[in-house]
Structure 1
Amino acid sequence: MLTINNALQWWARNRQDAVALSLGGDTVTYGDWLPWIDRVAVLLEDAGVLPGDRINACAANSLEYCTLAFAAMRAGAIIAPLNTRFTPYELCEIIKDHGSRLIFCDDAHALKCADCGVPVRAIAEVLALRHGGKARPAHDPLPDSCVVIISTSGSTAKPKGVMFSHRTMLSYITANAMEDGALRDGGGVIVVAPLATSAGMVQLVHYAVLGCTLYLEPLFDAQLFLDILVEKEIASFSGAPAFFERIAALPTFKTADLSRLKFVAVGGARVTKPLFDAWAAKGIIIRQVYGQTEAGGNSTVMPGAFAATFPEKCGWGGIFTEHRIVDADGNELPPNCEGQIVIRGPATMLGYWNNPEATAETIRDGWLYTGDIGVMDELGLITFVDRLKDIIISGGLNISAAEIERALLEFPGIEECAVIAAKDERFQETPLAIVYGTSPPDVPALIAHCNARLADFKVPRYVAVRNQPLPRLATSKISKPALRAEYADAHLILPKVR
């Protein structure tokens, strides 16, 4: 059967002694993990869980959390991870929408879910079943059953639940293995993203299905990550550019032996030339990726043969996945024209949980409308430009926030920045730059720097200098919703800088 659990059964037989999960020195092999998953699946069935029931989890990354996720799938249920950073109100709103059967929490988050009207179980119950005899769950998973609901990252007003089945997730994984092959024979990977996010849960399923060893690090520490990359047989490492920048800034980076790395990729933002060059000097070519939760993960990865020549581009799609650039009416655009990126492929989500209207708006005639702006060149290579929602419309002109952000990050001393729309009496909207750095920047010099790189209408009219890093989502992306709320009245408070 084409199911995720069947893949784990394969590795339990063929790589019984290979480490599946490692966290803080604690490890579990594939041979021991599969019976643990089965015992927890029987626990769920004994608790009245039926195929299709939703099981929420609100906890930090752990071996037992990973086990619960696969046990829910084994029992025919749907694992629906919850963001531990959400408030009790937000959590209860999602749980109510899911109509959940059970919630599993660790001690740190149990109180948040206590008043949501759904029985709360301790995730320690999963840990207690780590050792024991064989168990046989009553249900056999079906390929097209929904297995996961992942809430969108929160960059929209209200998170939507993205649904995946065994088949959609396995289609993504199979294509990934066929296209590159870096992990076709297993190998080590590092997973730092929370399991409540697409980056966390999709990577967990992806690498477990490929029989890899997953190093689950709860927090990003640059030196620890570099040590793991050097000491363990890590074949693949992916993450936000900030991860790579902090590792490259370490004094030990230049002498570190990273020869085992076969695949290195960055998503969420473009790689700067200094960052690309720092890793290229060690023989490692960073490859740009593009994707989103609704697409099942990364829908395109820059081919290794072209990555050094076009480091800012992110490939031409996957072996089973097509991309187009379309205008506002859905018409395909010619090369080098900006438009919305649309995707068609077998890894695309089933739809949004309990939200047919949003599903119909996003998936049209089999194409996923991403809400992202991109350009496709004559070779078919895609360049991500910006999110549609991050476009600032000033006096009828479309301004890409990402384009301004790239210019700001080239100014000495600026470590983080975000550009959002500020209200403007004349133009309705105008760019507001929010910056944080090692020392407060010279704002007039910063504006002169932008004037040298950007058209006049793109140069920020307001600059907010922060003395602390910018807020981030659970996915480590900068939280623009939080910044928009914080700087809603910036036009009344901040002086115009030009």
Structure 2
Amino acid sequence: MAQTLPGAIAWWARMRGAQPAVVLGGDILTYAAWKDWSDRVAAMLLAEGLQPGDRVAICATNSLAYVALILGVIRAGGIVSPVNFRCTPREIAELCESTEPAIAFAGPDQAAHMAAAGLSPHPMAVIDALRAGDPAQVAHDPQPDAPVVIIATSGSTAKPKGVVYTNRSMTAYAAIWAVESVSSSPGARVITLAPLNTSAGFVQLLHYATQGCTLYMEPQFDPLRALRLIEAERISCFGAVPAFFEFIAALPEFQAADLSSLRLATAGGSRVSRQLLETYAAKGVTIRQIYGQTEIGGNVTMMPEHLALESPEKCGWGTVFSDIRVVRPDGSDCDPHEPGEIIMRSPGMMQGYWRNPEETAKVIRNGWLHSGDIGTLDEQGLLTFVDRMKDIIISGGLNISAAEVERVASEFPGITEALVIAAPDARFGETPFLVYHGPAEVDVADLIRHCDISLSNYKVPRYVVWSPEPLPRLATGKLSKPAVRERYAGAHERLPRVR
């Protein structure tokens, strides 16, 4: 089991067996208990006929049972296929059409949607029942290069692609950041807020667990609870979108709060303002901006602590094992401050997109991952993120494919063509703004109900506007999103929210 996730957890079960690995709602799962529980889960899956490489779909909210199931699937040689618990039956069916899970599990609130998508999920109570019991012997020997998870990621296409990580890539990612930051050394205490079905939630769990940390897993973000948790549990590491740091800083309790335990604070997903940096710096905390994406395994840069305050717009440079470049369309390196495409390579990089060699070949070329993002490097090699070439809306840290929303909206009677752009949002950073053309205005309430059937709540447009004229097009005949962005810039300020 060299360089595998189960091997890493087994190591900490021996070295720090009594240390909490995951704490959720006051319930504590130690490293020793996690290993034993996951072994029993693995034995159960193998008894059900799970074969190496079989996919196991999981649709549930965060729980300790979910944590045990993830490791149990990997220990048995299966591939975890997390399903967003917000997904509609249609979204679940589209995802599983590609992953073809051999076994499925669902939480009590997600079982009906899984069944409507054509699956026959086991209840998560089956995993809960295995928390206690005799030690299990698991014959399967996990392999370092075996795939362990397929993370659905929204891209420029209407349907999500599945990013594949292996044991080796995930343990390598953890090793990169163990070298880069002593703040997450064994025993460090980490808050993780993201759902386990997302790359952020899944990677954080196994990244910090591979490093021997204790994860405080919160079911949802509550600013006051997060602040109290940092103080009471002496949290060492906290990473979130900038908006979450803003919400905490806005609390009346923030001024008197003791944040002295925080040794690593990172923010990604949108730019960190100088005001936010200064607010936390006054409390002795340096927020360090990061850059990355699911395909690279997580983040590939972290702003050096001693430079973060003076250059809040910058995201740092590559790591001891990772490289970043900014290149022109011909592949040559851009000059300092010249914008170009960000490309990167890292041992934590994805193996590829699940059953999608064509898309994999588009983004991984000559060992470099082409991000589809525009950035610049300065004379020191520090990265500044400029814009996304891919058409992604990031709302509250969650990626939304504009193409997916457009596809669903275009199915509504009376809509001839539709484009979705990002509108600024005080709470979530960005939110979907739908512009459509048709012979007449449609009933917006009916349109939103139509979107609710096929899209997760956070993907449903918050603003809708009708264009009596056909939407602008490029010379190639494609709809021109830049022209629509320019035409409707600031329109959200005078339009009512429909959601």
TM-score (norm 2): 0.81
Deviation, 1:329, is 2.5
Do 1:101 and 1:118's aligned partners in 2 also have CA atoms closer than 8 Å?
no
Quickly say closer, same or farther: Cα 1:374–1:60, change in 2 above 3 A.
Answer: same
- Does residue 324 of structure 1 match 2:314? no
Deviation, 1:186, is 2.4
SS in 2 for 1:312: coil
> What residue number does 1:289 align with?
290
Quickly say closer, same or farther: Cα 1:495–1:176, change in 2 above 3 A.
Answer: closer
> What residue number does 1:162 align with?
163
- Does residue 178 of structure 1 match 2:204? no
The letter for the 1-side match of 2:56 is: I
> What residue number does 1:132 align with?
133
SS in 2 for 1:291: strand
> What residue number does 1:72 align with?
73
Deviation, 1:487, is 4.5
Quickly say closer, same or farther: Cα 1:380–1:115, change in 2 above 3 A.
Answer: same
Q: How does 1:262-411 map to 2 (within 5 A)?
A: 262-390=263-391
Deviations 1:97-145 (A, max 9, x none): 1111011001100111114444411111111000011001120100000
Once residues 468 and 261 of structure 2 are traced to their aligned partners in structure 1, the CA distance between those partners, rounded to angstroms, is 49
SS in 1 for 2:318: coil
Do 1:101 and 1:119's aligned partners in 2 also have CA atoms closer than 8 Å?
no
Do 2:13 and 2:31's aligned partners in 1 also have CA atoms closer than 8 Å?
yes
Quickly say closer, same or farther: Cα 1:304–1:437, change in 2 above 3 A.
Answer: closer
Once residues 374 and 488 of structure 1 are traced to their aligned partners in structure 2, the CA distance between those partners, rounded to angstroms, is 34
Once residues 490 and 378 of structure 1 are traced to their aligned partners in structure 2, the CA distance between those partners, rounded to angstroms, is 49
Once residues 312 and 46 of structure 1 are traced to their aligned partners in structure 2, the CA distance between those partners, rounded to angstroms, is 53
Do 2:200 and 2:298's aligned partners in 1 also have CA atoms closer than 8 Å?
yes
Quickly say closer, same or farther: Cα 1:170–1:279, change in 2 above 3 A.
Answer: same
Quickly say closer, same or farther: Cα 1:58–1:488, change in 2 above 3 A.
Answer: farther
Once residues 470 and 99 of structure 2 are traced to their aligned partners in structure 1, the CA distance between those partners, rounded to angstroms, is 41
Deviates most, 310-319 or 140-149: 310-319
SS in 2 for 1:114: helix
Deviation, 1:89, is 1.0
Once residues 152 and 296 of structure 1 are traced to their aligned partners in structure 2, the CA distance between those partners, rounded to angstroms, is 12
Once residues 157 and 272 of structure 2 are traced to their aligned partners in structure 1, the CA distance between those partners, rounded to angstroms, is 25
Deviations 1:306-354 (A, max 9, x none): 1122222111111111111011222221111001100112111000001
- Give the percent of matched residue pairs that are identical in Structure 1 and Structure 2: 46
Q: How does 1:214-293 map to 2 (within 5 A)?
A: 214-293=215-294
Deviation, 1:482, is 4.7
Once residues 112 and 487 of structure 1 are traced to their aligned partners in structure 2, the CA distance between those partners, rounded to angstroms, is 31
Once residues 207 and 496 of structure 1 are traced to their aligned partners in structure 2, the CA distance between those partners, rounded to angstroms, is 41
SS in 2 for 1:252: helix
> What residue number does 2:434 align with?
none
SS in 1 for 2:183: coil
Unaligned 5+ segments in structure 2 are 404-418, 428-456, 472-486, 492-499
Quickly say closer, same or farther: Cα 1:276–1:492, change in 2 above 3 A.
Answer: farther
Unaligned 5+ segments in structure 1 are 392-400, 406-417, 422-429, 439-477
The letter for the 2-side match of 1:157 is: A
Once residues 381 and 267 of structure 2 are traced to their aligned partners in structure 1, the CA distance between those partners, rounded to angstroms, is 20
Q: How does 1:429-448 map to 2 (within 5 A)?
A: 434-435=423-424
Do 2:156 and 2:390's aligned partners in 1 also have CA atoms closer than 8 Å?
no
Deviation, 1:180, is 1.2
Q: State the 4+ residue runs in structure 1 displaced beyond 3 angstroms.
A: 115-119, 153-156, 430-438, 481-498
SS in 1 for 2:184: coil
> What residue number does 1:198 align with?
199
